[in-house]
Amino acid sequence: MKSSNVKTLLLLVLLFAASGLVIWFGYKAILNERHKGTARSDVAAIDRAATAYHSKHSEWPSQLDVLIAGSENDNPFCGPDPLTDPWGRRYQYDPKQVHPSSGKPLIWTEGLEPGKSAKISNWD
C-alpha cells in the first residue's frame, strides 16, 4: 500500500509541475502579445510626433531624442516614455531610410528577440 501512495504522490507532483510549466509558458506568450500591442501604439505615437516635427520644421528629426528635447521655441513633441520599447530597448530610427510612397522615415523595434522576432515598424 505504501508503494501505491508514493506513486500517486509522485504522479501528483509531476502533474502539478507540468501544469505550472504550461501556465508559465502561456503567461509568457500572452505577455509578449501584450508587449507587441504596446510597441505598435508606441511606434504610432513616435510616428505622429516625427510627423508633427516635420510639419513644423520641413525636415525629419535627425534623431528621436530631438522629439523629447524641445527648445526655446518648441515644446517637446512627445514624452520620453515612448522612446523605450516594452522589452527595455530604445526604439530604432533611420531618417535616411524613407518609405517609397509615404516618404516617412523608418521607426521600429526588434521585438522580444532581436534578429529572430518580426520587426514592428511604422511601415507595417
For 79-113, write each residue's pLDDT tens digit: 777 789 999 999 999 999 999 999 999 999 998 88
Closest CA to 65 of 96, 105, 92: 92
Query: According to the model, what pLDDT value does residue 4 have?
Result: 76
Phi-psi category of residue 29: left, alpha or beta, with phi > 0 → left and psi -120 to 50 → alpha: alpha
Residue 26 has what pLDDT? 66
Helix (H) or strand (E) holding 67: helix 65-69
Ordered structural domains, the chain, with CATH:
2-121 (3.30.700)
Could you tell me the end-to-end alpha-carbon distance of the chain, in angstroms, rounded to an integer? Answer: 63
The more confident residue out of 74 and 59 is 59
Q: What is the DSSP string of 6-66?
A: HHHHHHHHHHHHHHHHHHHHHHHHHHHHHHHHHHHHHHHHHHHHHHHHHHHHSS--SSTHH
Is there a contact between 112 and 35 (Cβ–Cβ < 8 Å)? yes
Residue 114 has pLDDT above 60, yes or no: yes
* 1 pLDDT higher than 60: no
Q: How far apart are CA 50 and CA 43, in angstroms?
A: 10
List, for residues 27-64, the tens digit of each pLDDT value: 666 767 898 999 999 999 999 999 999 999 999 999 99
